[in-house]
Structure 1
Amino acid sequence: MELEYVNEHIGNKIKDLRNRNGLTQQELADRTELTKGFISQLERGQVSPSIVTLLDLIECLGTTASEFFKETEEEHVVFSEEGFFEKVDEAGNSIQWIVPTAQKYQMEPLLVVVQPHQSLEEDKPHDGEEFGYLISGRLKLYLGEEVYSVKAGESFYYPAKRKHHIENPDIIPAKFIWVSTPPTF
C-alpha cells in the first residue's frame, strides 16, 4: 500500500470519528496536546502520525486500535443481472441465482424457468423451508405423495422434510421466484 493512500485513509477515519464525536479540530488538538494545524494536515493525509500519537488520537476519539483499523465490508443491497449466475439444464430449464452471494446468508432467492412439459430434478428431504411465487405459467408441486397445482399469481410454502420436485404441465414456460432457507442449491 502506498504511504499517501495510508495517510489519506487514516486522515479520513480520524476526521470521520472527530465529526461523529462533535469535536472541532481545535478541541481534538487540545485533548491530544497537538496543534490544530497538525490535526488539519493529518485529516488531509499530508502527514503521518507516530504510532504513539495515532493511538492517543484513537483513544481520545473513543475507540480502540482494533476497531479503528477494522475494515468494514460495504453492504451490497441491490443486485443487477450482470452479477447473476445461471445454470441451464439439457431440457432448457434455467435457474438464476439473483443474489450472487446468497450462500453466506440465511436464504437463497432464485429465478427459475421451467420449459413446457419439463420438470426440475427431484430434491431429497433436507432441513429448511422453501417458498415460491409463480410469475407466469402453471406448475405442479410434488411434495411427498401430494400434488399441488399452482397458477400465476399464487405462491407456495413448505418445510423441505419430504422429497419434492416441480414440473410444468403447460405449453408455455413457467417462471417463478424460489427462495430456500437455508441455502441448498
Structure 2
Amino acid sequence: MAVQYQQDPHKTAEFGESDLQSAVGRQVRQLRRSKGLTITQLAADAHLSSGMLSKLENGQTAPSLGTLKALSQALGVPITTLFKGYEETREAMHVKAGDGIIAARAGTRAGHQYNLLGSISGSSSVTVEPYLIELTETSDTFPTFQHEGLEFLYMLEGRVGYRHGKALYDLEPGDSLFFDADAPHGPEKLRALPARYLSIICYPQEN
C-alpha cells in the first residue's frame, strides 16, 4: 500500500511575519472563545480597542510585545501560549486510488469490503474514520449494525435500500445519508450491484 503523509498544503516550509501573526491571532481567538468572552470583553480587559483586537485575531496586524503581555494577562495564560500554533505540525494522509487499507470493522458481514482511506492521530477529542465500502453479489445484507457516534454516507455507484431504525432509504449515486449510528442501520436491499459508497464515521476518542 502506498500511503503518503504530506504537510498541510496551505503551510509552506518557510515561516515569515505574516505566518506568525496569523498563528497568534488564531490562538487568541481560540482562547477567547474557550473562556466565553466576546471581542469587546477581552479588548476591555486587555486595554485594547475592539477594532485592534479584531484585526489581531484575523492576522491583519502584528501585535507588539506589550499587547501580547496584556492579552496573556487578560486571558490568564503564559505569554508563550499565544505562540502555540506557530510551526505546529499538521498531518495529512494521501491515499492513491485503489490503495486504501482493507479493514474489518466489528460486525462486518461477509462480502462487505471496507477500505480505510485515512487515519490521523492528533490531539482532537474526536476520531474520524473515512471508508470506501463495496458490495457485490456475494455480500450479505446487514441492517442491524450499531456503534457509537455519527455516520455520513455518500452513494457513488449502484443502488441500495439502506435501513436506519424504522426507516428504509433508497440510495442512488449522488444521494447522501447522515445519521445517529447508535440506531440499527445497514444495507437491507441490494437493488443494483456492484454498489460503492463512502462512509465517514465520527465518534469521541477514548481517554
How high is the TM-score relative to the length of structure 1?
0.51
Aligned with residue 94 of structure 1, among 113, 117, 123: 113
Q: What is the aligned counterpart of 1:122 among 129, 133, 144? A: 144
For residues 160 and 91 of structure 1, the distance between their equivalents in structure 2, rounded to whole angstroms, comes to 20
Name 1:76's counterpart in structure 2: 92
Question: Residue by residue, what CA displacement relative to the aligned partner does 1:138-176 show, whole Å, maximum 9, x if unpaired?
Answer: 111111222111111111111223111224522521100
What runs of 5+ residues in structure 1 fail to find an aligned partner? 1-15, 22-62
Give the RMSD, CA atoms, in angstroms: 3.8
What is the Cα deviation at residue 81 of structure 1?
Answer: 4.7
SS in 1 for 2:160: strand
Larger radius of gyration: 1
Q: Give the corresponding residue for 2:173.
A: 152
Q: Contact 1:140–1:169 (CA<8 Å) still a contact in 2?
A: yes
- 3-state SS of 1:170 partner: strand
Structure with the higher strand share, 1 or 2: 2
- Please point out which of 85, 106, 113 is paired with 2:101: 85
Label 1:145 to 1:74 Cα distance change in 2 as closer, same or farther (>3 A): closer
Q: 1:99 to 1:108 in 2, by over 3 A?
A: same
Whole-Å separation in 2 of the counterparts to 1:101 and 1:93: 24
Counting matched residue pairs gives 125
C-alpha change, 1:143 and 1:96, in structure 2 (3 Å) is same
Q: Letter of the aligned partner of 1:119 in structure 2? A: T
State the 1:136 CA deviation.
0.5
1:38-84: CA deviations, max 9, x gaps? xxxxxxxxxxxxxxxxxxxxxxxxx98xx9xxx95452253335762
Provide the C-alpha distance between the structure 2 equivalents of 1:102 and 1:123, rounded to a whole number of angstroms: 25
Segments of 5+ residues of structure 2 without an aligned counterpart are: 1-13, 19-78
* 1:39-54 map, 5 Å: none
Report the Cα offset of residue 130 of structure 1: 1.0
- What SS does the aligned partner of 1:142 have? strand
Q: Which residue identity does 1:129 align to in structure 2?
A: L
Cα separation, 1, equivalents of 2:189 and 2:95? 28
What TM-score results when the alignment is normalised by the length of structure 2? 0.46
- 1:166 pairs with 2:187: yes
Task: Give the structure with the larger helix fraction.
Answer: 1
Q: How does 1:30-41 map to 2 (within 5 A)?
A: none
Give 1:115 shift: 1.6
**In 2, Cα distance between equivalents of 1:119 and 1:101:** 30
Pair 1:82–1:72, CA change in 2 (3 A): farther
Per-residue deviation at 1:118?
2.9
Conserved in 1, the CA contact under 8 Å of 2:162 and 2:169? yes
User: Amino acid of the residue matched to residue 124 of structure 1?
Assistant: Q
How many Å separate the matches in 1 of 2:101 and 2:153?
Answer: 19
User: Which of the residues 112, 134, 137 maps onto 2:155?
Assistant: 134
